[in-house]
Structure 1
């Protein structure tokens, strides 16, 4: 069951990643998602609030959503962790492959604005 769910979430265009503030308030963010073996991979700005929230508390909810973050299916509990540079680089390649021209342009713009260290991968395991 987990494998089918992981496949479905990894194949979707957007993943709703819900992380938690220190006071327990949930914050949902739509992000691009790629399949990473037995996990899902997300790529984001290193100084984003979701990175700070995941560092403080790794339990998250994930589920399919549209571009605006409206859920299109059930949210399931998962664990998120910030990735090392090598894994982040692999996520960039997977995103470029999955999202085509739009993905490559977004990656390029991010690299020009922030440099390679300005973004991190987040590994999500169900």
Structure 2
């Protein structure tokens, strides 16, 4: 488990950014950046990691399962990079981890976060989404 304070310092503005550019990599090494909501976790099993919530069938999840290498940066809502990249390692979380990610997203994004996570669960089912945790390589 990463040291939360050391991870927070390594991530810098990424730890508190509204939108994060998560770059995953294809089998042949091509980068695939996407904007995503993310929340930094200070305690628990994901302490020191940036957690994200996404569709379980998304390509980013498939790529993370293939290779854990990721790059993180701050960005705007359409994915325009606005900050330095930090190399990291990501993992796909189990059901309990995904539930903790939903809580973290709800806490950070307030009413909009709660609406998004609840609507997704109601209309597509809880298993349609999954949590991702990423830590900087320090």
Counterparts of 2:61 and 2:53, CA distance in 1:
10
Match of 2:21 among 9, 16, 19: 16
Tell me the number of residue pairs that the alignment of Structure 1 and Structure 2 aligns: 126
- How much has 1:7 moved relative to structure 2? 5.3
RMSD of aligned alpha carbons = 1.3
Match of 1:96 among 91, 99, 106: 106
Stretch of structure 1 that moved more, 108-117 or 40-49: 108-117
Counterparts of 1:108 and 1:27, CA distance in 2:
28
Q: Which runs of 5+ in 2 are unaligned?
A: 1-5, 42-46
Q: Are the counterparts in 2 of residues 6 and 39 from structure 1 also a CA contact under 8 Å? A: no
Q: Give 1:56's aligned residue.
A: 66
Q: Give 1:3's aligned residue.
A: 8
Aligned structure 1 segments of 4 or more residues deviating by more than 6 angstroms:
none
1:1-126 to 2 correspondence within 5 Å? Answer: 2-6=7-11, 8-36=13-41, 37-126=47-136
Q: Are the counterparts in 1 of residues 23 and 32 from structure 2 also a CA contact under 8 Å? A: yes
Q: Which runs of 5+ in 1 are unaligned?
A: none
Say if 1:7 and 1:86 are closer, same or farther in 2 by CA, change over 3 A: farther
Counterparts of 2:71 and 2:21, CA distance in 1:
8
Counterparts of 1:56 and 1:43, CA distance in 2:
18
TM-score of the superposition, structure 2-length normalised? 0.86
TM-score of the superposition, structure 1-length normalised? 0.94
Q: Are the counterparts in 2 of residues 21 and 53 from structure 1 also a CA contact under 8 Å? A: yes
